[in-house]
Amino acid sequence: MGVVEPRPERVLDVPALADGRDDVDLRWAMDLPSVASHDRDDQGAGLSKCRRTTLAPPVSLDPTAPANARVPRLPWPANPRTPPTNILWVNPADLSAAVQAAVSACLQAGEFGGPPPTEVLIERPRNPNHGDYATNVALRLAKSAGRPPRDIAEAIARRLREVPGIESVDVAGPGFLNIRLSTSALGQLAQVVVEAGSNYGRNDALAGQRLNLEYVSANPTGPLHIGGTRWAAVGDALARILVANGAAVTREYYFNDHGTQIDRFAGSLLASARGEVIPPDGYAGAYIHDIAERVVHDHPEVLRLSRADAQEVFRREGVEMMFDEIKRSLHDFGVDFDVFFHENALYESGAVDKIVAALKESGSLYFAEGAWWLRSSDYGDDKDRVVIRSDGSPSYIAGDLAYLQDKRARGFDLCIYMLGADHHGYIGRLKAAAAALHDDPNAVEVLIGQLVNLVKDGRPVRMGKRAGNVVTLEDLVDAVGVDAARYALERSSSDAVLDIDLDLLVKHSNDNPVYYVQYAHARTSNVRRNAAGAGIGLDEFDPNLLDHPADTALLGALGEFPRIVSSAAELRAPHRVAHYLESLAAAYHRWYDTDECRVLPKGDDPITMANRTRSWLNEATRTVLANGLQLLGVTAPERL
């Protein structure tokens, strides 16, 4: 049975505000995606003093997702006749709801016909002259409505113009809606983010769903190699993101302590202890010698035992030592698991024998060529699979069948397997296994990760310190540190081959993406400390004063965070969070370098309401940077 171990709490420690000045003034210029900025008129609500706001869980859409991607759908308003009466603060999900309500009102009034759209995409235009947000909803409705899209757009625009907080709505081109918001509606977001704190960006889209996320699951036959390290970083980040979307996630490591690879590992340890040549199919590297010495030290009698008995000691003790080392390395890397499930338990408990007998009885297994085969091609696999070999030993899929049944018996709604580049065949195999068990194949999801290459001084790194010709987790961390290693592994889509430049990751410059993002957080923290020292706190706030184009650009970037968190979960794509943080950092650095957007007044100038209000925007940025880095398991330093 699985071994459940508690996960240690990892808390982001934010020190109290401190006095002091930081004279460092770095000028950043980085070619990153930026949010369009534009001037705003000073309109809208008056002064607001720390008014508490109750937040509905944001639901968001990702317009950059491919057409066939899993995109979260915003539910159609329950009362389509009643559009939102006020836009107090805006992210794309809020505006999407307002557009949906306007469309529903038009449909109810008979201004055009057809079914309502299943989703409304809200985007930020590349050209700031086109407004704060845009939507193509009228173009999508035109065919079913049998009306010109511009006519539909005009009808929707009339409804949206009635919503306080929306400054203007223009119809452009064939029927696009370009929407401008009031300065107050945009600026209010800064206060909302600060008051939401660590909850900003989270939602309950996956509430009530129990997910089993299995990743790493490396054989305990050697240190964790760089490919497994990638899954450790990406898997942990994905688990955090799924939890941020409301799911109950169990992080699971499948401990392969059964089979021929374990036999080879034990034989290699025994050969090393006896001073013999390692078998050709065995394992080499300094770690084999280290573990063999430890086993002999703890069990000096082992070398006097028969070969078979000695190998069993090396198997038992060596596997435990190796797995303890793997768990320790993962923990130091910030990766902990809820369950370590032992493969051997499936055989010792009789679960494999029971599942094989049940499949024989149901007719899902057939006997041919001296072996028992699963009719997996009947369930979508590319071929039938051997379950019991001709020598009577079970194949890997026998354990997979019993393991999947065990997961489902534990009550998981979805079982996600994160596997290596050489496991493409497992996609059809595991879904066919579910079908053969009369289960839902859609309860199984397989993610395939690609290879990682390390480069130093322009050359590939192929040799590790302890594992011979294998580069390990420790090799990467020793070279660049935990934060840089995790961020580099999570920053790219896991289904693409990744080249990591070790020289780049140790630079303290804007060329190093993790340093660029962490410096942005450290800079926000420094501004907060300096503001506190000058007597500028978060006690007064006027959203109308956030009217500079740099303010607007930064607010727009902050508003995107809930959508990014949602799409990263739906698309299983933690790298979207990393790319977002880089664009947010770029927007913040530009804002910081804008003289008109100061939190601290110049020289002896008096402190103004604009200074106090912009301290909220600085704190909102610090909050979102910390929240995003937490999702990636990367620290948010107060100083660098």
Query: Is 581 a residue whose pLDDT tops 70?
Result: yes
Residue 100 and residue 46 share a domain: no
Burial class (CB in 10 A: 0-12, 13-18, 19+), 98: buried
Q: 150 with 36, same domain?
A: no
pLDDT of residue 408: 97
Q: Considering the domain boundaries, does residue 427 fall inside one? A: no
Residues 104 and 43 in one domain: no
| Domain match, 101 and 29 both | no
Q: Is residue 568 part of a domain?
A: yes
Residues 102 and 166 in one domain: yes
* 497 lies in some domain: no
Question: Where does a domain end: 163, 181, 199?
Answer: 181
Would you report the helix, strand and coil content of the chain in percent, each value rounded to 5? 45, 10, 40
The residue out of 124, 151, 181 marking a domain boundary is 181
d(CA 412, CA 206): 13
pLDDT in tens, 440-469: 999 999 999 998 988 888 888 865 545 555
The rounded distance, in Å, linking the Cα atoms of 197 and 620 is 8
Q: Are 582 and 513 in contact (CB under 8 A)?
A: yes
- Is residue 538 included in any domain, yes or no? yes
The enclosing domain of 169 has a CATH number of 3.30.1360.70
Decide: 449 and 495 in contact? Cβ < 8 Å.
yes
Q: Are residues 2 and 252 in contact, defined by beta-carbon separation less than 8 angstroms?
A: yes
Using CA atoms, how far apart are residues 203 and 55, in angstroms rounded to an integer?
10
d(Cα 372, Cα 386) in Å, to the nearest integer?
6
CATH assignment at residue 29 = 1.10.730.10
Predicted confidence (pLDDT) at residue 11 exceeds the cutoff of 50: no
Indicate if 514 and 622 belong to the same structural domain: yes
**Percent of the chain topping pLDDT 70:** 85
Domain assignment of residue 536, yes or no: yes
Instruction: Provide mean pLDDT across the span 625-629.
Output: 98
**Percent of the chain having pLDDT more than 90?**
70
Mean pLDDT, to the nearest integer, of 412-439?
92
* Residue ending a domain, choose from 154, 181, 208: 181
Q: Please give the residue that has the higher pLDDT: either 53 or 84.
A: 84
Instruction: Tell whether 482 is covered by a domain.
Output: no
In a domain, 585, yes or no: yes
Q: How confident is the model at residue 88 (pLDDT cuts 50, 70, 90)?
A: low
118-140 residue pLDDT tens: 889 999 888 888 888 999 999 99
Q: Tell me, yes or no, whether 586 and 526 share the same domain.
A: yes
Please, are residues 618 and 522 in contact by the beta-carbon 8 Å criterion?
no
Residues 43-80 pLDDT 10s: 222 222 222 222 222 222 233 333 333 333 333 333 33
Residue 84: is its pLDDT beyond 70? no
Q: Identify whether residues 126 and 32 lie together within a single domain.
A: no
Is the Cβ–Cβ distance between 57 and 90 less than 8 Å?
A: no
Residues 12 and 115 in one domain: no
Is residue 475 included in any domain, yes or no? no
What is the C-alpha to C-alpha distance for residues 310 and 323, in angstroms, rounded to an integer? 20
**Residue of 558, 529, 486, 525 whose CA lies nearest to 637:** 525
Judge whether residue 532 has pLDDT over 80: yes
Question: Cα 361 from chain centroid?
Answer: 42
Q: What is the mean pLDDT of residues 601-615?
A: 95
Domain count, the chain: 2
Say yes or no: 40 and 114 in one domain.
Answer: no
Catalogue the E-assigned strands of 404-512.
414-419, 444-448, 452-456, 459-461, 498-501
> Is the confidence at residue 17, as pLDDT, over 70?
no
- Predicted local confidence at residue 67, as pLDDT: 31
Q: What is the pLDDT of residue 613?
A: 98
601: containing domain: 8-50+510-632
In terms of domains, do 122 and 15 share one?
no
Shared domain for 603 and 523, answered yes or no, is yes
> In this structure, how many other beta carbons lie within 10 angstroms of the beta carbon of residue 1?
12
Residues 543-559 have a mean pLDDT of 95
